[in-house]
Structure formats: structure tokens, C-alpha cells
């Protein structure tokens, strides 16, 4: 973490939470801090970023990305209160979700394969990672007989990295147009991006600006009032909020480093 990292504190401040320290080692090592304290620190940093940007407090929502952490940790963060749970892997999330009380929405933030679409629909309330027509069509095909509407975001490969998933920025309008015209059971709500990794959050800023400008340009062309922005992770969520993120997706700053 480059700046504003959660303060190091001891575990004994949150007796209701009983994880093994190994699941909650803080980012960057050092003594363990609790999930509750991490969450409070992230919330505080989000609020400060909102203030800096002249945005209403609470106008950015928090997706707690719990990938690799066990169901009991997810249940704990749900009990503490977050806006959504984010998971990358469909199968892992499906297993965990059984152990977590319902109520908090789950977002799929990782790539979706066609053959996992059924399980994804059974597990998630929102898919942030629609990145090609084939996936949109597959979801539509499965949703139609149930007459269920699924909120989705389009994932944009904002840094145009060859190895990354996400539609290229110049393809976003066509994909969004397809979803709106041909997938009546998908409700397009926003754009998501994962900028090229850089430990310096300022390097993410131009990517966040680019996503915001893309959303601003596309929304009226698509006949939408707005496209929300899901952008910003542990290293750069404050910069993302300054640049207009409606959702930030935070894993390590809440849960510590991932085991694998
Ligand atoms: C799409 C996506 N968003 C957010 C995160 C959370 O990242 P971090 O742990 O750096 O906050 C991850 C981590 O795997 C991710 O894949």
C-alpha cells in the first residue's frame, strides 16, 4: 500500500471475529489487524476521497472482494456491512455462498466462461465482467425462460493489454448496443475496468478518466441516463473515487494478502 494504509492495530479489539491470523495478515506484513478495523479504515479513506472530490459522503459503494478467503470471513464482512461481495471465480463463490446469510448482493468480478454461466446465475446477483457478445447471449438464453432480469456491467480493457479480459474501448459501444437491443433480460448498468497494475495509484488515474469519459460519451448514444463506473482496487480506490467511481472493489486492504 502506498498511502493511507490501515493503521497497524492488534487483533483483540474485535472479539466477535475469530479468524486465524493467517487469513487476515495485513497488506505489507506486520502485526495482524482485524477485519473490522480494516473495514473502518477503508470506509474512512473512501469518505475522505468523496470529500476531496466534492461528492456526497457515501456516494461510492464498496464491493468486498473475498476471493480465496473462506466463507466464514465472507459472512463476517457481510455482518459488518458492505454494499456487495465480489468474487472472481464462479465455482469458489458457489461453494462459499451457501455459508453466508442472504441479503448482501454478490458481484461476479472475474471472467465468465460460457460453461459456467448457469452456475454464475445461480450464485451472483450482478455480473460486472460481461466482455463479449457470446457471454451476453448465453446469459440471455438462460435468463429468458425464468423471466429474470440480471443487472450487468461491461468490462472494458481500458489499458488495452493483450493478456487482459474485457472489451477494448472502441468495441464497448457495439457490445453495449447488442446487450440493449438483443438481451432484454440483461439490465446494463455500468462499465468496469482493471487498469494495468501499478503500485503508484497516480498511474491509474488516466485510465479511470478514460473509463469515465467513455461512459459519459456512450450513455446518451445508447439512450441511457447514466452508466455507473466500477473502478479502483486496494492500491488505487481513492484515486478512482476522485475520478468518479460509483463502485470500488477492494480485497487486500480489507482481508490481507491472498493465500492463492
Ligand atoms: C476484478 C477484481 N477487482 C478487484 C479485486 C481486488 O483487488 P485488491 O485485492 O487489490 O483490492 C480483484 C482481485 O482479485 C479483482 O480481480
pLDDT of residue 2: 38
What pLDDT score does 231 carry? Answer: 98
The pTM score is 0.88
Q: Residue 258 has what pLDDT?
A: 81
Which CATH number covers residue 250? 3.20.20.10
User: Average of pLDDT values for 180-208?
Assistant: 98
Helix ranges, 116-251 (H):
117-123, 133-143, 172-182, 205-222, 237-242
Helix, strand, coil shares, percent, the chain, to 5: 45, 15, 40
Closest approach atom of ligand 1 to CA 233: 11
Q: What average pLDDT does range 102-115 have in this prediction?
A: 97
Q: Ligand 1 centre and the CA of 179: distance in Å?
A: 25
List the residue whose alpha carbon is closest to atom 10 of ligand 1.
Answer: 234
Return the pLDDT at 260.
56
User: Which residue among 6, 88, 235 is best mutated to probe the pocket of ligand 1, counting the most ligand atoms within 8 A of its Cβ?
Assistant: 88
Q: How many CB atoms within 10 Å of residue 253?
A: 24
> Which helix (H) or strand (E) element contains residue 190?
strand 186-193
**Residue pair 217/175 in contact by the 8 Å Cβ criterion:** no
Range of the domain at 92: 12-72+88-255
| DSSP of 62-79 | EEEE-TTS-HHHHHHHHH
Q: Is residue 79 part of a domain?
A: no
Separation between Cα atoms, residue 88 and residue 66, nearest integer Å: 9
* Residue 31 domain flag: yes
Residue 4 inside a domain? The answer is: no
pLDDT at 39: 97
In the predicted structure, residue 143 carries a pLDDT above the cut 70: yes
User: Pocket residues for ligand 1 (CB within 6 Å)?
Assistant: 65, 67, 88, 109-110, 194, 233-234, 249-253
pLDDT digits (tens, 9 = 90+) for 213-254: 999 999 999 999 999 999 999 999 999 999 999 999 999 999
Flag whether 57 is in a domain: yes
Percent of the chain with pLDDT over 70: 87
State the total domains in the chain.
1
Amino acid at each position: 500500500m502506498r498511502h493511507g494504509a490501515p493503521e497497524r492495530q492488534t487483533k483483540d479489539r474485535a472479539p466477535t471475529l475469530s479468524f486465524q491470523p493467517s487469513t487476515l495478515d495485513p497488506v505489507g506484513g506486520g502485526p495482524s489487524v482485524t477485519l473490522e478495523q480494516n473495514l473502518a479504515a477503508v470506509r474512512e479513506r473512501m469518505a475522505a476521497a468523496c470529500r476531496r472530490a466534492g461528492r456526497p459522503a457515501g456516494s461510492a459503494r464498496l464491493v468486498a472482494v473475498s476471493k480465496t478467503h473462506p466463507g466464514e470471513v465472507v459472512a463476517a464482512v457481510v455482518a459488518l456491512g458492505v454494499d456487495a461481495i465480489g468474487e472472481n471465480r464462479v465455482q469458489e463463490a458457489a461453494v462459499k455462498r451457501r455459508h453466508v446469510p442472504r441479503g448482501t448482493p454478490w458481484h461476479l468480478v472475474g471472467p465468465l466462461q460460457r460453461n459456467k454461466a448457469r452456475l454464475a446465475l445461480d450464485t451472483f446477483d450482478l455480473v460486472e465482467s460481461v466482455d463479449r457478445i457470446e457471454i451476453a447471449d448465453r446469459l440471455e438464453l438462460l435468463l429468458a425462460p425464468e423471466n429474470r432480469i440480471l443487472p450487468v456491467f461491461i468490462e472494458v480493457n481500458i489499458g488495452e493489454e493483450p493478456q487482459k479480459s474485457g472489451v477494448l474501448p472502441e468495441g464497448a459501444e457495439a457490445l453495449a448496443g447488442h446487450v440493449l437491443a438483443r438481451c432484454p433480460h440483461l439490465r446494463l448498468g455500468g462499465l468496469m475496468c482493471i487498469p494495468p497494475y501499478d503500485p503508484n495509484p497516480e498511474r491509474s488515474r488516466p485510465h479511470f478518466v478514460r473509463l469515465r469519459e467513455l461512459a459519459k460519451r456512450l450513455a446518451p448514444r445508447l439512450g441511457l441516463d447514466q452508466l455507473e463506473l466500477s473502478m479502483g482496487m486496494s492500491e488505487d480506490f481513492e484515486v478512482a473515487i476522485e475520478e468518479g467511481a460509483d463502485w470500488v472493489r477492494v480485497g487486500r486492504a480489507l482481508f490481507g494478502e491472498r493465500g492463492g
